[in-house]
Structure 1
Amino acid sequence: MSTINLTDTFAEFKELKSIDRPTMMSVLEDVFRNMIIKMYGSDDNYDIIINIDKGDFEIWRNREVVEDGEVEDPNRQIALTEAKSIEEDYEVGEEVTDEVKLADFGRRAILALRQNLTARILELEKNNLYSKYKDRIGEIITGEVYQVWKKEILVLDDEGNELIIPKTEQIPSDFFRKGDTIRAVVVRVEMRNNSPIIVLSRTSPVFLERLFELEVPEIFDGLITIKKIVRIPGERAKVAVESYDERVDPVGACVGMKGSRIHGIVRELRNENIDVINFTNNIQLYITRALSPAKINSIRIDEKNKRAEVFLQPEEVSLAIGKGGFNIKLAGQLTGYEIDVFREADVQDEEDVNLDEFTDEIDSWIIDVLKGIGCDTAKSVLEIPYEELVKRTDLEEETVKEVIRILESEFE
């Protein structure tokens, strides 16, 4: 039974294709030697021969031949009579090498040996998995959804290793069932309770960067560089690109003929809108491009405080801000500037009313807050959705409702 148990353990070792042979041999020999040291106090007179392919091993003990009755250490010495029973030619002072059978160690020692081997195998697997994925941080992994829980998804890679995608690393509109194929990027690898945890992400900007590398050969080859990516997963992303070859249009190359290249990325990201922007060191031009699709009339830059005041036509304000304020938020993150949007005063709607005209009904400090987000007229406030107005002004909901009521009544 003991031999069968150990044979099974050897078989487990043979299945660990990712662990190199010298490591296997070293671990196996180390476990056997620890058992010998525990039983005899020393292992320096033992030779251990391991055959992983066959799943067997041999233990040979070397002892010095001494006169009968002079054996002081049975583990290192053997009486002449006993030595001659092994081979007639042995004489005092020579070395006898004989095989030690596993059964000689006793059942408890064999069980302990198997437990140690199993523990070392498990430890090897964990360390190997940790090292493997530590080197793959930033790579896209394709796996199979094995289990879907409320807070995370369990994914199996092509070797059956377990990876997880927390809810926070999933695109809000992601929906997967068991057995689905999923793509994500490795964002971190950590040891938790002595077990490796490999965390994948579909919301990381790195995931979008790797998708571009897969779809756009010029990026993979280094002709085009991605300077920066900012995302609101599932909603909108902005990608700044630059070409090192004047003959290559970086935006055109990324989008492809009729959007052929970018469509695959958009589908993978659950129809996330992706704006590809030509990077430039000219900050005014960069901000103008970042606020696309809005058309900018003029920009005033405050480099010291990293702020930009953008002036545009009234009908362009909503485009600049974007749905949910996503466009202006991402433009600010991409350029590194706090962007304030203003309507051009000289093109103000004749029917519109300046906010300063409402000081009798609206507190002046509230008007200042509204001006601070780029609204200087009644209609410019009313053009912004209620939820976005609350978010951007940080005013109480009741206050915002009252302001809207007052402004709307002006045009009734």
Structure 2
Amino acid sequence: MAQAGVSANRLELLQIADAVAREKAIDRQVVISAMEDAIQKAAKSRYGSENEIKAEVDPKTGEISLARLLEVVEDVTLEATQIALAEARRKNPAAQVGDFIAEPLPPLDFGRVAAQNAKQVIVQKVREAERERQYDEFKDRVGEIVNGIVKRVEYGNVIVDLGRAEAIVRRDETLPRENFRYGDRIRAFVYDVRREQRGPQIFLSRTHPEFMAKLFAQEVPEVYEGIVTIKSVARDPGSRAKIAVVSRDASIDPVGACVGMRGSRVQAVVNELQGEKIDIIQWSPDAATFIVNALAPAEVVKVVLDEDAERIEVVVPDQQLSLAIGRKGQNVRLASQLTGWDIDIMTEASESERRQAEFAERSATFMEALDVDEVIAQLLASEGFSSVEEVAFVEPTEISSIEGFDEDTAAEIQARGREHLEKLEAELDAKRKELGVADELLEVPGLNTAMLVALGQNDVKTVEDLADCATDDLAGWSERQEKETIRHDGFLDGFGLTRPQIEDLILAARVKAGWIDEADLVEEEAEIEGEGEAGAEPEATEAGEAPAADDASAS
């Protein structure tokens, strides 16, 4: 190919460039630039690699011109690449230091080795351009479904020919018991495109949750048009999946639209996914309702939400327990992935046992702390008192109004409660001092002695230590690992503090430590409030449209 470029037939050079550009789907100028680099390399090997040589191919005529570049300098140190200013001005009177002078070189006759080297350079440059074109083409197609033909299978990884590129479906991204052979058609989801040394790598998946969502978009016109929205997908690839859908048009049933006439639409997706069973669930903005829906087909008797920890306890009838959990925990696991909540399932019997155990524990606590008999302790527990603090500091009438109690009994019980708490406080304070927690931490609003002991056990002993803490250090955090949520405990877990309260604690510590000026903080809060009020004004002028906006956001 390179030898044809330096022969008398210059047009042949341009024909080769055109043919390569068409075949590889790259710009013709890229191929011509590769040819210039190849001729440059061959000329350097002929005239000496120390020379700076530039080759140009005229894109219209195919004419090749070679020139040696010389930098204009005051004092020449390298004769091969430099020229003195005086000599340069004889060639070009306008030459200045730092300019380059081009000295034309005679046409080059390629030898066999030079031609081979030139060919390698062209092939390499064209390959790089082709890889860049592939990357540019597919980097914006992440999140799409593509169709291809299986080119080969290597150790369970499927190499797919996409026409103008090659992609890979790794073994863990294929469905279980799914076998592909050369020539099979394959449909998959583009989940990543990366630049790698050997060219762009296009990664496909048939197990990705989004693959199922995109399949529904292809099969269900309402999803494609945006009338029905897929809120979330949870999959156990090849076995079972749950998909949450909601409609922004009250007249369209989102579940029915996805199922189709006699299940035709959902069946098309099931067939593509090798028989994977799909539960289509109505999404709800109310977390409890959504979770109850997600646990279908199991019936739910009662739910108890802990919104801060994103955890929910679900009570089901005794005979429904295995159905709610599912084979190998599949049903509850998928429901948890779908909703983003940790779900604890218990039967009515076990919930009743737990409540009795809690009642007995509270009664025992009151008996010990208040020095009362079992009957009085059980009366307090059954009235809803859950801690000694509640008993000690509620209005006396709340205790005296309990049947069988009077004002004197209530006063005596509260006095005993306060005495017990003072004793506990003294013990905790001694432990705080023993841990070396500074007294000044007591002045930070929102902290009590029990919290200071917990902080001291985690090496937070001064105001500066607390100011240096992140919210996650104190509140804990959750992270998704593979298919489960792992909870990391914080220093102040168990004290019932919300994240905003913990953020206020840290801010107060930073003010006390002198890291933040309180006046600046007040100013900043006033600015934020002002911005909030300014932002609210347009809504007030369009009150008539507000319900429609609310409906849209809820859906």
**Band of TM-score, shorter chain:** 0.5 to 0.7
- 1:89 matched to which residue of 2? none
Give 1:11 deviation, angstroms.
6.8
Give 1:189 deviation, angstroms.
2.1
Partners of 1:48 and 1:25 in 2: CA distance: 7
Partners of 1:34 and 1:99 in 2: CA distance: 14
Partners of 1:191 and 1:346 in 2: CA distance: 55
What is the aligned-residue identity percentage?
A: 38
1:184 aligns with 2:188: yes
SS of the counterpart of 2:178?
A: coil
Letter in 2 for 1:222: G
- 1:408 matched to which residue of 2? none
Deviations 1:117-137 (A, max 9, x none): 111011111222222222211
Give 1:23 deviation, angstroms.
3.4
**TM-score normalised by structure 1 residue count:** 0.67
5+ residue gaps, structure 1, are: 64-72, 74-92, 357-391, 393-412
- 1:225 matched to which residue of 2? 229
Partners of 1:210 and 1:270 in 2: CA distance: 16
SS of the counterpart of 1:179?
A: coil
- 2:119 matched to which residue of 1? 114
Partners of 1:211 and 1:179 in 2: CA distance: 22
Letter in 1 for 2:118: L
Q: Tell me the C-alpha RMSD between the 2 structures.
A: 3.6
Give 1:33 deviation, angstroms.
5.0
Deviations 1:331-379 (A, max 9, x none): 111112221222223999xxxx99x9xxxxxxxxxxxxxxxxxxxxxxx
Letter in 2 for 1:282: D
- 1:3 matched to which residue of 2? 3
Using a 3 Å threshold, how does the CA distance of structure 1 residues 32 and 316 change in structure 2: closer, same or farther? same
- 1:83 matched to which residue of 2? none
Letter in 2 for 1:147: R
SS of the counterpart of 1:345?
A: helix
Using a 3 Å threshold, how does the CA distance of structure 1 residues 47 and 328 change in structure 2: closer, same or farther? closer
Partners of 2:282 and 2:314 in 1: CA distance: 19
SS of the counterpart of 2:62?
A: strand
- 1:49 matched to which residue of 2? 58
- 2:31 matched to which residue of 1? 24
What are the residue-to-residue correspondences of 1:136-155 with 2, within 5 Å? 136-155=141-160
Q: Whose helix fraction is larger, Structure 1's or Structure 2's? A: 2
What are the residue-to-residue correspondences of 1:257-296 with 2, within 5 Å? 257-296=261-300
Partners of 2:29 and 2:175 in 1: CA distance: 43
- 1:58 matched to which residue of 2? 63
Aligned residues: 315
SS of the counterpart of 1:50?
A: coil
Give 1:61 deviation, angstroms.
6.5
- 2:529 matched to which residue of 1? none
- 1:343 matched to which residue of 2? 347
- 1:381 matched to which residue of 2? none
- 2:208 matched to which residue of 1? 204
Give 1:187 deviation, angstroms.
1.5
Letter in 2 for 1:3: Q
Which stretch of structure 1 is more off in the superposition, 33-42 or 191-200? Answer: 33-42
- 2:321 matched to which residue of 1? 317
Does the 8 Å contact 2:151/2:160 carry over to 1?
Answer: yes
Instruction: Considering Cα pairs closer than 8 Å and 6+ residues apart, tell me whether 1 or 2 has the greater RCO.
Output: 1
Does the 8 Å contact 2:156/2:171 carry over to 1?
Answer: yes
Partners of 1:295 and 1:320 in 2: CA distance: 8
Does the 8 Å contact 1:9/1:114 carry over to 2?
Answer: no
Q: Whose strand fraction is larger, Structure 1's or Structure 2's? A: 1
Does the 8 Å contact 1:59/1:100 carry over to 2?
Answer: no
Does the 8 Å contact 2:209/2:235 carry over to 1?
Answer: yes
Using a 3 Å threshold, how does the CA distance of structure 1 residues 61 and 151 change in structure 2: closer, same or farther? closer
SS of the counterpart of 1:285?
A: helix
Letter in 2 for 1:154: I
